Amino acid sequence: MHKKTMDIRTIDREENRRRMKNGELYHAFTPDLIADRKRCQAACTRFNNAGDVSRRTLVGMWKDINGDTIPLPPPRARRDEDDAILEDWPWVDAPIKMDYGYNVKFGQNVYVNSNSTWIDTCTITVGSRTLIGPNCSFYSGTHPLDPTLRNGTRGPESGKPITIGDDCWIGGNVIVLPGVTIGKGVTVGAGSVVTKDVPDYVVVVGNPARVIKEITPSKPTNGAVNGLSATINYSATM
C-alpha cells in the first residue's frame, strides 16, 4: 500500500530549518537543504583533492567547508612565519566528509586525522586542543524508530547536538552518537562507541563506552609547552 506523504514543495523552509537546528522533526530533502549538502560536498571534494598546498590554502578551503567568515591574518613573507600565525586554526587531514559543514564548530588548535565523517544535522562542537584519530565518525542526525513514520527519504528526521570539551583525545575508529557531551580532558579509547555523556578527565573505552580510569591533569608552571619541555629531556648534544 502506498504511504501518504507530505508534499515537500509546500514545506515552510525557514520553519523547517528552525526545526532542524532545534532537534525537532524536519524534512532533509527540501530543495534548499539538498543544495546546502551539495555545496558542502563540493567544498569537501576540493579540500580532499588539494594535494601538496600551503597551510594558508588548506585553512581557506576549510573555511569554505564550514562557512567561517572570520578573516585570516595578513600573510607573512616567509612560509614558516605564515604557518606559525595560523597554528591555532584547525589542522584537518583529508579525506573529510560532512553533510552541511556550517554546523561544525572547532576551538583553537584542533587536530583531525584522516577519513572523518561528520553528520552535522545539529551543531557538533569540538573544544580547543582536542586531538581526533583516523576514521572517526560523529553522528548528530537520527531517525524515528517507527518505520511507518521514518518512510525512507520522504519521512522526517531529527538530530541532537554533540559537544566535545577542550583537551580531549579521541582515538581512532571512534563513533560518537547524537546528543552526547564529552567533558574536558577525556581520552576515548580506539574503537569505542560513545552513547551517553562522559564526565571531565576520565578514560572511556568499549561499545558502549564506559569509564575505566580517572585522570589527574598536571599543572605546568609556565603553560603547557614549557611544562612539556620540563618533562621531556631535550638534549643539545644529540
Determine the Cα–Cα distance for residues 64 and 84; give it in Å rounded to an integer: 21
Angstrom distance (rounded) from CA 238 to CA 234: 9
> In which residue ranges of the chain is pLDDT below 70?
1-6, 221-238
Using a pLDDT cut of 70, give the percent of the chain over it.
90
Q: Is the preceding peptide bond at 208 cis, omega within 30 degrees of 0?
A: yes
Among the listed residues 21, 143, 184, 210, the single catalytic one is 143
pLDDT in tens, 63-108: 999 999 989 999 999 999 999 999 999 999 999 999 999 999 999 9
pLDDT attached to residue 200: 98
Round the average pLDDT of the chain to a whole number and report it.
Answer: 92
pLDDT tens-digit series, residues 43-52 = 999 999 999 9
The reported pLDDT for the residue numbered 9 is 73
**Predicted local confidence at residue 8, as pLDDT:** 75
**For residue 141, which of 121, 161, 162 has the smallest C-alpha distance?**
121
Q: What is the dihedral of CA 132, 133, 137, 139, to 10 degrees?
A: -20
Active site residue 27: no
